[in-house]
Amino acid sequence: MTAVGATARAAEAGASQAGHLVVAGASKRFGAAVVLDDLSISVAKGEFVSLLGPSGCGKTTLLRCVAGLLRPDAGRITVAGQEITRLPAHKRNVGVVFQNYALFPHLTVAENVGFGLRAQGVAKNEAAPRVAEALRLVRMTEHAEKPVTALSGGQQQRIAVARALVVRPSLLLLDEPFSALDRKLRETMQVELKHLLREVGITAIFVTHDQEEALVVSDRIAVMNAGRIEQLADPATLYSRPTSLYVLDFVGQSTRLAGTVTESAAGMVAVETALGLVRAPGSFARDSRVVVAVRPEAVTLEEAGTGNRISARVSEISFLGSRTQLHLDLPAEGEDRGVVELPRLPEGVAPGSRVTLAFDPADTMVFPA
Ligand SMILES: Nc1ncnc2c1ncn2[C@@H]1O[C@H](COP(=O)(O)OP(=O)(O)O)[C@@H](O)[C@H]1O
Ligand SMILES: [Mg+2]
């Protein structure tokens, strides 16, 4: 191994570790409002990362900074190791798909998809096969010559994706692209997009405020809170190991109960809650105020056995088809919540019934209150 080769490989490893897209310490204010707050994120090549968070948390602002439509007040943005923080949008080779897909109504489907290639001065004989390939990817080949206005919402959104991909961007940004579509179509488009992006192998950032959508499409999810990233993890980790109450509440449902630590030993705590004693893995001093939580599907209704057992009254029952949700009666004030999911409703359980909730301490999470 030559020294030059080793150095090049080390640099390459460093670059891939650093990520294809790296945002380092980005801040953005609008007047007095801090919209991005020293935010950092690194996205690997070929990775599909969602920015998930409530309306107003800064998702679009971050995307606009990466696209070059907005300049951050501080921080650095690099793509493939090249700093682009001050590069104008048209020099960034970044594809963008917005919610209102902004197609050109007077052009055909193929002309819409080929628009970016014409703008780049790509010759017709090279552009045609690239447009055809982009249309194939989004399964719209047979619609190529139609006016774009003849398409349904879902088809128009596919064309917006094809139009962004045809210029072979090094990064694809999608800002709530499916939020105008009805639920059924949205679910189809999510699976299609995931499949398509894997086929193309492109690095993509997908903005959504819909946690289910983020769980479906993403390799990793960045949960945003007030201009910062609260947790960045793969969907399963985010769901089973949220690092804060904010993430616990934003991704999925749970039974969560406030309480006080009454015992603490060997990495386990016992917490007195409004519904009884709950044990969980954790290290908190006695008398600490904490919140314990368990996901709905980790709970069964079993009277006997070891593990956590708490008793509650059922307030409402929701039949969801493939499963049934029991909502528990808890004081309306305070932040305690109770929800259990069962494959089917046990006989004799109705609103008002008292039930025993059984769950494994290993499935129980504990957070500082
Ligand atoms: N150009 C702007 N001028 C002033 N305030 C803005 C501007 N763009 C966004 N904001 C504000 O920044 C905050 C974050 O906006 P945005 O990034 O669009 O959030 P999200 O996409 O997560 O819903 C909001 O409070 C919004 O009103
Ligand atoms: Mg937005």
| CATH assignment at residue 282 | 2.40.50.140
Distance 88 CA to ligand 2 centre (A): 21
Is 91 domain-assigned? yes
Q: Residues 30, 136: one domain?
A: yes
31 Cβ contact partners less than 8 Å away, ≥ 6 residues apart: none
One-letter amino acid of 72: P
What is the domain-level CATH number for residue 126?
3.40.50.300
Whether the pLDDT of residue 13 is over 90: the answer is no
Q: What confidence score (pLDDT) does residue 229 get?
A: 97
Residue 212 alpha carbon to ligand 1 centre in Å:
23
Q: How far is the CA of 1 from the centre of ligand 1 (A)?
A: 52
Q: Do residue 61 and residue 166 come from a single domain? A: yes
- pLDDT confidence of residue 166: 94
DSSP state of 19: -
Whether ligand 1 lies within 6 angstroms of the CB of 30 is answered as yes
Q: What is the pTM of this model?
A: 0.89
Q: Is residue 344 part of a domain?
A: yes
Chain segment 46-59, per-residue pLDDT in tens: 999 999 999 999 99
Residues of the chain above pLDDT 70, percent: 95
**Hey, whose CA ends up nearest to atom 3 of ligand 1?**
30
Average pLDDT, the chain: 92
- Write the pLDDT tens digit of every residue in 360-369: 999 999 999 9
Ligand 1 and 279: CB distance under 6 A = no
What type of residue is 124?
Answer: K
Are 220 and 156 in a shared domain?
yes
Same domain for 242 and 285, yes or no, is no
Instruction: Report how far ligand 1's centroid is from the alpha carbon of 134 (Å).
Output: 32
Predicted pLDDT of residue 160 = 93
Q: Is 61 in the pocket of ligand 1 (CB under 6 A)?
A: yes
Whether 50 and 223 have beta carbons less than 8 Å apart is answered as no
| pLDDT value of position 208 | 95
- CB of 296 closer than 8 Å to CB of 341: yes
Identify whether residues 122 and 20 lie together within a single domain: yes
- The last residue of a domain, from among 223, 247, 271: 247
Q: CA 122, CA 124: separation in Å to the nearest integer? A: 7
Per the document, the length of the chain is 369
* Domains of the chain: total: 2
265-282 tens-digit pLDDT: 999 999 999 999 999 999
59 alpha carbon, closest ligand:
1
Instruction: Round to whole Å and give the CA distance between 108 and 277.
Output: 65
pLDDT tens profile 61-77: 999 999 999 999 999 99
Work out the pLDDT band at 17, boundaries 50, 70, 90. Answer: low
- Residue given tokens 């048209």 in the structure block: 90
Amino acid letter for position 187: E
- The answer to whether 259 and 272 are in contact (CB under 8 A) is yes
Ligand 1 atom at minimal distance to the Cα of residue 64: 17
292 located within any domain: yes
Q: Tell whether 319 and 193 lie within a shared domain.
A: no
* Domain, as residue range, for 37: 15-247
* Same domain membership, residue 158 and residue 85: yes
Nearest residue to 248 (alpha-carbon basis) of 261, 260, 267, 230: 230
Determine if ligand 1 sits within 6 Å of the CB of residue 26: no
Closest atom of ligand 1 to CA, residue 54: 22
Residue 259 domain-assigned (yes or no): yes
Shared domain for 216 and 260, answered yes or no, is: no
Same domain, 223 and 260: no
Among residues 181, 213, 247, which one ends one of the domains? 247
* Same domain, yes or no: 293 and 209: no
Q: Taking the chain, what is the end-to-end CA distance rounded to the nearest angstrom?
A: 55
Q: Ligand 1, residue 51: give the atom nearest the CA.
A: 22
In the listed set 230, 247, 264, which residue is the last one of a domain according to the structure? 247
Q: Determine, yes or no, domain membership for 7.
A: no
Q: What is the pLDDT of residue 357?
A: 96
Q: Is the CB of 208 under 6 A from ligand 1?
A: no
Give the count of beta carbons closer than 10 Å to the beta carbon of residue 278.
Answer: 25
Q: Return d(Cα 274, Cα 256) in angstroms, integer.
A: 11
- Please tell me if the CB atom of residue 32 comes closer than 6 angstroms to any atom of ligand 1: no
Question: Looking at ligand 1, which residue's alpha carbon is closest to its atom 18?
Answer: 60
Residues 129 and 233 reside in one and the same domain? yes
Query: Containing H/E element for 195?
Result: helix 183-200
193: CA distance to ligand 2 center in Å? 19
Establish whether residue 35 lines the binding site of ligand 1, counting it when its CB lies within 6 angstroms of any ligand atom: yes
Predicted confidence at residue 99, as pLDDT, reads 77
Residue of the CA atom closest to atom 7 of ligand 1 = 30
**Contact criterion met (CB below 8 Å) for 26 and 62:** yes
Ligand 1 pocket, mutate which of 23, 35, 206 (most atoms under 8 A from CB): 35
Best residue for ligand 1 mutational test, from 55, 57, 61 (most atoms within 8 Å of Cβ): 61
Nearest to 163 by CA among 96, 212, 215: 96
Whether residue 6 is contained in a domain is answered as no
